[in-house]
Amino acid sequence: HETATRRRRVLLKLSGEVFGGGKLGVDPGTVRGIAEQIASTVGEVETAIVVGGGNFFRGAELAESGMDRSRADYMGMLGTVMNCLALQDFLEQAGVETRVQSAISMAQVAEAYIPRRAIRHLEKDRVVIFGAGAGLPYFSTDTVAAQRALEVHADEVLMAKSGVDGVYTADPHKDPTAKKLDTLTYNDALRQNIRVMDQTAMTMCKDNKLDMLVFGMEGEGNVARALRGERIGTTVTV
């Protein structure tokens, strides 16, 4: 299957914020909208998804209020699984076959993370949703997105952001002269300490020559456009 005629395969990273619609928990209308956009591209694009959990818990924040960091991180990972199940439900309502694979075993709700099986699902037009991060404290779901993309041989990582539509020369919320960049190298992003992306994820993509698109969720149909390969947002390359 690793031939020139192979379909486009992508790893879409959805942060927890896009599930919450700005609140704690899951906003069903928002998740349904995302699911319908993904559904519109099935058959054209093979899509694996890593979901974040920031709409429930972030380990680093809980640790600041006195919790043990590792336990707090496990809470964060469990939050991502709730997002996975919400997305799975709306994808299936939109007629898409899906599988959730969790890095923490919970056989009643998700398959185990088995990369070769994930690839088979993708080839059969199933959307694969990866939950529970890496199953390891001290990691972020952005880093997991880079790792899963590499392991399932995705052509590109698509980082969906909310509140920003790409990488800017400065923080666009603070600096009115900030300009959006169409392209950027990993070296420049790392050197300039670009905050919109996780440094570990960028280093992993750079070392393995994997392109990344950083794009905003807000524009109409943006998720489907990014899945199909439209150059919305900022492309980060080696």
CA-based end-to-end distance of the chain = 26
Interface residue with ligand UDP among 98, 141, 222, 234 (CB under 6 A) is: 141
Whether residue 137 is annotated as binding a ligand: the answer is: yes
Handedness of CA 93, 52, 132, 127 (dihedral sign): positive
DSSP H or E stretch at residue 112: strand 111-112
Nearest residue to the partner ligand UDP, using Cβ: 52
Sheet of 183-185: strand order equals 111-112, 98-102, 127-131, 45-51, 8-14, 156-161, 211-216, 234-237, 183-185
Interface residue with ligand UDP among 31, 76, 99, 121 (CB under 6 A) is: 76
Interface residue with ligand UDP among 77, 149, 159, 223 (CB under 6 A) is: 77
Nearest to 13 by CA among 231, 224, 159, 214: 159
Nearest to 148 by CA among 178, 186, 119: 119
Q: How far is the CB of 115 from ligand UDP (least distance, A)?
A: 15
Q: Which lies closer to ligand UDP via its Cβ, residue 102 or residue 141?
A: 141
Whether residue 54 is annotated as binding a ligand: the answer is: yes
Whether residue 143 is annotated as binding a ligand: the answer is: no
In the complex, the residues that contact ligand UDP under the rule CB under 6 A are: 15-17, 52-54, 58-60, 73, 76-77, 80, 133-134, 136-137, 139-142, 144
Annotated binding site for UMP: 53, 73, 134-141
Annotated binding site for ATP: 13-16, 54, 58, 168, 171
